[in-house]
Structure 1
Amino acid sequence: MPSVLVTGCAGFIGSHLCERLLADGYQVVGLDNFDPFYARSLKQDNMGGFLQHPSFRFLELDLRAGSEALTQALGATPIGLVVHLAAKAGVGPSVREPAAYLDNNVLGTTHLLEWMRQQGIGKLFFASSSSVYGNSPQRPFREDQSLLQACISPYAASKLAGEQLTYTYHHLYGLSVLNARFFTVFGPRQRPDLAIHKFVRLLQAGEPIPVFGDGTTARDYTYVGDTVEGIARGVAYLLSQPPGFETINLGNSHPVALLELIHAVGEAVGIAPQLVFQPMQAGDVDVTYADSSKAQALLGYAPQTSLAEGLRQFVSWQQNTNGSPLQA
């Protein structure tokens, strides 16, 4: 099996992916900068199950340090493929700190691509986001629809810029690329700033849950195990195919309204939620809804985990880890 470099390996999705790739027999090199957006200790816990695996090597590095820093850190390590998950995440925070998101997500991606070009590494799985569709009236979202003037948050713009960069490197240098737009991934190890994680903590603390808008906004919630299955299939696809460029949605193709989600979280926790309605937050979209038929045709991608089962898995993990505080 070739070596796979996973950027953002200590994060929510990245840590699950490393476990999956190691179980599949890959040699994995993991890279993370422990961005202080949430506690370093949580990310270290994420890696606890595989950090000492004989086929895993960890590097602490910020991609903004440049391609030379990557070359120095990795040396002659043979890398067959890169899964680029590392990014400064979060729609709301990007509205408050747009420069930081463009710096991390656009400049960092550029440095990674340039290092790949210099090293002759020809295969990339790039993690994009459903946020690039903005409030498009065309639903479900298809990969071939126009995204001009679609992005309504700096985070979304940074992800779409990443997609454009990967195409540029494909066009100029023959990089083989699979861009995957993730749709609201949830499950064990989910970031503590995300809705489901916050709702569970609030319910357990006996506090009301804020409802932004009228509760009809909807998200295409996708269980982390299904997303990771899609990534693993994408890795295998890239390794087996001649150079190309594809973009896919990795979603569940079933939007769930915010009020429905809150009540489902309440059932999983066993506590009836109290609601406090508040204005919509800047940058938030109304609905995300994936047409995942292309991923199904290309990779055999077919999500298996229901919202209720995924929430049970999350609550079980959260209770066993005594919750996840936002600060270290």
Structure 2
Amino acid sequence: MSSENNSLSKTILVTGAAGFIGFHVSKALLALGHKVVGIDNLNDYYDVNLKLARLAELGIDKEEAIQDLNVTSSTTHDSKMIFLKMNLEDRKALPELFKKYNFDVVCNLAAQAGVRYSLENPEAYADSNLTGFLNVLECCRHTKVPKLVYASSSSIYGNSDAVPFEETANVDHPISLYAATKKANELMAHAYSHLYGFETIGLRFFTVYGPWGRPDMAMFLFTEAIINGQPVKVFNNGDLSRDFTYIDDIVSGILATLLETSDNTSLYKLYNIGNSQPVQLLEYIEAIETALDKTAIKEMLPMQPGDVKQTYANVNLLKKDFKYQPKTEVTQGIAAFVAWYKGFYDIGR
């Protein structure tokens, strides 16, 4: 791995900038002195106020965030990022954005997230994850963006028993529409790298958690339920394990792929990005109980449609190419999340 003039400021597009991972990536890039242009459609899949609070941390006030500025009227700030409320699938605004800013690299983290929600609203996944991603690829193609780093997911491995999951495994049997759209993204990226000669790097995220996390994720749901004395829903009667990965470790991997080059000269790359230390669900809940000093009421439930029994990342390839090294133990990460949660929601003061 070598520096890609990392000391020089780059102009970087971060899609999904008000989302959990996009917020943290934007914050880290700004701290390094890069110019960040962020977009997000601020949909109501979960609490929009949390998204607006993340943007406020990045220097974007609420009134600025929610207005529908067009690309030409968006303001430029010397000390903070530029933000535009925008859908990925907007075939007029997104190309205009790419032409205006001439991005050095693009980080596509915007997507309709969630496995279970894909059973209720499949059209949202087609719009954002398929049409939207195609729009990003087309914009990269026509404005000669040299590198696109994009979010894939561990969910594409389905119910594979071959653990740890490796990038070379067959992933032709997704068990949710969400997973299918992520597999489609990888195939689309391959076609565009082959046809148009720009680098695409897909990152298969493994159960990301931490401060400012998504309210639909286990860490958030469990903490909220335990604090409020409500039952914690334990699916498959607790017989589940997840490769829980702390947000700081995820960000370090994303930054490496965005800002560095590797000895791997292939234009098309795929990497697992996880902690590589799966944890049983009941152990995870126990660690949250310890951090909160409160016992959970457990409601044992059957397996949910679209869910998988286990995830476990082999991250050797990302270590080899970009020196990726997760550092955060689950108990440490849970304590950090709980501290943030209590502070954000003003609990226990």
User: Would the aligned equivalents of 1:210 and 1:278 in 2 still touch at CA under 8 Å?
Assistant: yes
Instruction: List structure 1 runs of 4+ shifted beyond 3 angstroms.
Output: 238-243
- Residues 1:61 and 2:86 aligned together: yes
Distance 2:135 2:42 in 1: 18
TM-score, length-scaled by structure 1: 0.94
Partner of 1:13: 21
Tell me the equivalent position of 1:322.
345
Find out whether 1:142 has 2:166 as its counterpart. yes
Give the distance between the partners of 1:80 and 1:242, measured in 2 at CA.
Answer: 18
Corresponding residue of 1:162: 185
Q: Equivalents in 1 of 2:264, 2:142: separation in Å?
A: 22
Match of 1:127 in 2: 151
State the Cα distance separating 1:73 from its structure 2 match: 3.8
Q: 1:295 corresponds to which residue?
A: 318
Q: Partner of 1:39 in structure 2?
A: 47
For residues 98 and 176 of structure 2, the distance between their equivalents in structure 1, rounded to whole angstroms, comes to 34
2:10 counterpart of 1:2: yes
User: Separation in 1 of the partners of 2:50 and 2:25?
Assistant: 16
Preserved contact between residue 15 and residue 107 of structure 2 (Cα < 8 Å): yes
Alignment deviations for residues 137-170 of structure 1 (CA, whole Å, 9 cap, x no partner): 2110000111122x10000001110111111100
Assess if the C-alpha contact under 8 Å between 1:59 and 1:73 holds in 2: no
Match of 1:182 in 2: 205
Q: Which runs of 5+ in 2 are unaligned?
A: 1-8, 61-77
Q: How far is the alpha carbon of 1:264 from its aligned partner? A: 0.9
Q: Does 1:204 align with 2:204?
A: no
Confirm or deny: 8 A CA contact 1:101 1:158 kept in the other structure: yes
Report deviation, 1:75.
4.4
Q: Any conservation in 2 of the 1:135–1:286 contact (CA below 8 Å)?
A: yes
Q: CA shift at 1:268, angstroms? A: 1.0
Q: Distance in 1 between matches of 2:237 and 2:95?
A: 50
CA contact (8 A) 1:183 1:222 kept: yes
Superimposed CA distance per residue, residues 91-122 of structure 1 (whole angstroms, 9 cap, x where no aligned partner):
01112222221221011000111111111112
Q: 1:22 deviation in Å?
A: 1.0
The residue type paired with residue 71 of structure 1 is P
Aligned twin of 2:65:
none
What corresponds to 2:329 in structure 1? Answer: 306
Instruction: State the shift of 1:49 in Å.
Output: 2.2
* Cα displacement string for residues 169-204 of structure 1 (whole angstroms, at most 9, x for unaligned residues): 001101201111000000001111111101111111
Q: CA deviation at 1:298?
A: 0.7
Aligned-residue identity in percent: 39
Distance 1:240 1:257 in 2: 36
Is the partner of 1:287 in helix, strand or coil? coil
How many residues align structurally?
322
Give the 3 Å change call, closer, same or farther, for CA 110–308 of structure 1 in structure 2.
Answer: same
State the shift of 1:51 in Å.
2.5
Structure 2 length-normalised TM: 0.89
| Shift in Å, 1:210 | 1.4
Q: Is the aligned partner of 1:250 residue 2:258? A: no
Structure 1: which 5+ residue stretches go unaligned?
none
Query: Kindly tell me: are residues 77 and 243 of structure 1, through their superposed partners in 2, closer, same or farther at Cα, counting changes over 3 Å?
Result: farther
Deviation at 1:239, TM superposition (A): 9.3
